[in-house]
A and B are shown apart, each in its own frame.
Chain A
Amino acid sequence: MTMPTIANLDTGTFTEWAGFLDGIPVFADAQGFIRVIEKNERRFDIHNGILCAKPAFDGKSLLSGGEDGKICRTSADGSSEILYQTATRWMDKIATGPDGAVACGSGRKGAIILSSGEVREIEVERSIEGLAFAPKGMRLAIARYDGVELLWVNTKNPNQFLEWKGAHTGVMFSPDGKYVVSLMQENALHGWRLGDNKHMRMSGYPAKVASTSWSYKGRWLATSGAPAAILWPFAGKDGPMGKTPKELGGMGKTMVTRVCCHPSADMLAIGYENGMIMAVRIDDGKIVSLRRDGQGAISTLNWDRSGARLAFGSEDGEAGIIEIS
């Protein structure tokens, strides 16, 4: 790996998402703008305040939810459509799935929007804290107080409830669909193996986990929440049960705020609270510095499909593209 080159931009506010759509760098900020960077920077006014954003499964568009109660789909050419809209509530949770499916949540209400345009409204007993589609898109996981609901996307079969006491603030499936892992209010992850509903407790974090990423082939689950990236082993048949996690990229007391695993190598990018970014090889922990530091904590990190470029954004608006080759 040679020295990276960095192209900078300033969103002027919290960067909600930085990444690539169809290979084109795109930045979404908390104010509601989506910037597309080609030869020139083009800025599109999508929301009155963006609260959440995720790329579509096919990587061609960005789905975003806003303070305006809207869910929008924006493409790299700047064209945008409103997929769903509520009256006045903050739309702060979003997930994307196969075949263009989108799920969104606002308090105790939410919706699944299928590519056919069909909208299925959902309502849960407690506020929706996190959403994730299963890899094949048949099920939707909803994180809420005291557990995770598993809802069938295409049928009205009753939800399965994965119970675990406490506040679950986010959720994900493993890439093979065998595990559901939630983020918890009390500095821990909780996991279920879907085959036998066996519990997995992943604790010991000094801070809340805000960022997670599955490594290439799903062998590791990398997370923030500590002054190093924490990687839980998922390769064996028992997942991380009874195993200690790997700690990578420790830089003294500087907290890790974002992690993003490389799409085709056992490597991950780590963003820190001081704006620093590192690339770390999972096998031997070898570190390459990608960005020294900056004004604010790294709030988003995403590789392009080839893994040659990394987009980043920070809480105070500093953002950019790092080219590695």
Chain B
Amino acid sequence: MNDTTSHVSQSVDKIPVTVLTGYLGAGKTTLLNRILTQDHGRKYAVIVNEFGEIGIDNDLIVDSDEEIYEMNNGCVCCTVRGDLIRVLQGLMKRKGRFDAIVIETTGLADPAPVAQTFFMDEDVQAKTRLDAVVTLVDAKHVVARLKDSPEAEDQIAFADVILLNKIDLVDDDEKSALHSVLNHINPHAIIHETSKAEISLEKILGRGAFDLGRILEDDPYFLTNVHDHHHHHDHQCGPDCSHESHAHHDQTGTHGNLNTIIHDPTIGTVSLRAGELDPNRFLPWIEKITQIDGPNILRLKGIVAFKDDPDRFVVQGIHMILEGDHQRAWRTDEERSSRLVFIGRDLDREKLERTFAACAI
């Protein structure tokens, strides 16, 4: 694992980068223009991959061809975006020009290589930090998108923040169905309903979603599951329903239609909880899991209580990239418990639960 011995790096002087994903027509450009034109006194550099199609009102816009580079280790999930490495290096030569960077990806872009670039390229990592992946979803058309494109699902699964945009175009039934779908794919993202991508910017910028110092802090799943969540199979899933994958209760009919809505129903979440863990079991376990199942793991995040360790240990990962560090001391009012979430494809819940449980003391 990288940096297990060092402290959580306070990345104050690194330029924050926000990644906007979402299908064409979901409202990315509208949101981008809101970011750029609101009177916040901050200057942005914008990187786009679909230049010319749309009007973006900014001094510093860089267009680049999407270039996915597999790292030469024979692994299909270890990818970076070569175009972003080049453009970010160029931008950082004149860093006084802007306070933050926004990357607008194409509608079909896979967010993983974009995110991995910030952890796998040493030059990018030295000067910038990934703030959050913000995914725009077109409330009216997302269901159709999910049927025909795995990219749409990846973008939702990968998101830290989801804007359920054009919400004014759907009725209440559709709305609650949409929340069920989004929660099914990614119960750990914060969902905001918007129309015309109207949102206060602090909800999407400066999130620190990849900051080990803030890991799982804003996680809606864990926030609403502070006390044991009693899952009623006959409940109606609404906007506040934020439990994990519904696959286990779709027999009841509540979510019986999910598998027909989603193109690839194999995507889902496994959330694990335990008390204190043995570091000599947990650290090799998490390394091994990410090595073996890395291609299927989109994101992982966790807070761990190690036996006899006064500090919280935090981890995050993208595919096979794993970052872990001591974060801060456990507070006396905190329960020393361990929480870990995996978002991915074909996750073997039984195996993860069993092997994770074996790390407990």
Contact = CB atoms under 8 A, between A and B. Distances in A.
A31 B63 CA distance: 19
Interface residues of A, number: 28
Nearest to B66: A127
A111 interface: no
B83 A127 contact: yes
Given A31-B94, A185-B82, A167 B69 contact: yes
A129 B86 contact: yes
Contact of A92 (B63, B71, B90): B90
Contacts of A315: 93
B64 interface: yes
Nearest to A16: B93
A14 B70 CA distance: 30
B94 A90 contact: no
B122 interface: yes
B87 interface: yes
Interface string B74-109: 000000101101110010011010000000000000
A217 interface: no
Given A165-B72, A208-B123, A127 B93 contact: no
Contacts of A49: 94
Interface in A137-187: 145, 165-167, 169, 184-186
Chain B interface SS verdict (over half): mixed
A58 B105 CA distance: 43
A51 interface: yes
B65 interface: yes
B94 A14 contact: yes
Interface string A205-241: 0011000000000000000000000000000000000
Nearest to B68: A145
B57 to A, nearest CB: 15
Contact of B71 (A108, A169, A185): A185
Contacts of A88: 51-52, 63
Contacts of A51: 90, 93
A145 B93 contact: no
B83 A107 contact: yes
A184 B72 contact: yes
Contacts of B51: 88
B94 A127 contact: no
A102 interface: no
Given A107-B65, A127-B83, A208-B122, A186 B94 contact: no
A66 to B, nearest CB: 10
Contact of A186 (B63, B72, B90): B72
Contacts of A207: 122
Interface string A1-43: 0000000000001101000000000000011000000000000
Contacts of B93: 13-14, 16, 30, 51, 315
Interface in B245-261: none
| Residue from B67, B73, B93, B121 whose CB has the most chain A CB atoms within 10 Å | B93
A120 interface: no
Nearest to B92: A14
B82 A92 contact: no
Contacts of A165: 70, 72
B62 interface: yes
Interface string B106-144: 000000000000000111000000000000000000000
B274 to A, nearest CB: 36
Nearest to A32: B94
Contacts of B87: 90
A243 interface: no
A129 B82 contact: yes
A90 B90 contact: yes
17 contacts: A13-B94, A14-B94, A31-B94, A67-B62, A90-B62, A92-B86, A126-B67, A127-B67, A127-B82, A129-B82, A165-B70, A166-B70, A167-B70, A185-B82, A185-B85, A208-B123, A315-B93
The 7 closest A-B pairs by CB, nearest first: A166-B72, A14-B93, A167-B69, A30-B93, A107-B65, A127-B67, A30-B94
Given A31-B94, A107-B65, A208-B122, 8 more contacts: A13-B96, A16-B93, A67-B62, A89-B63, A166-B72, A185-B71, A185-B80, A185-B82
Interface of A: 13-14, 16, 30-31, 49, 51, 67, 88-90, 92, 107-108, 126-127, 129, 145, 165-167, 169, 184-186, 207-208, 315
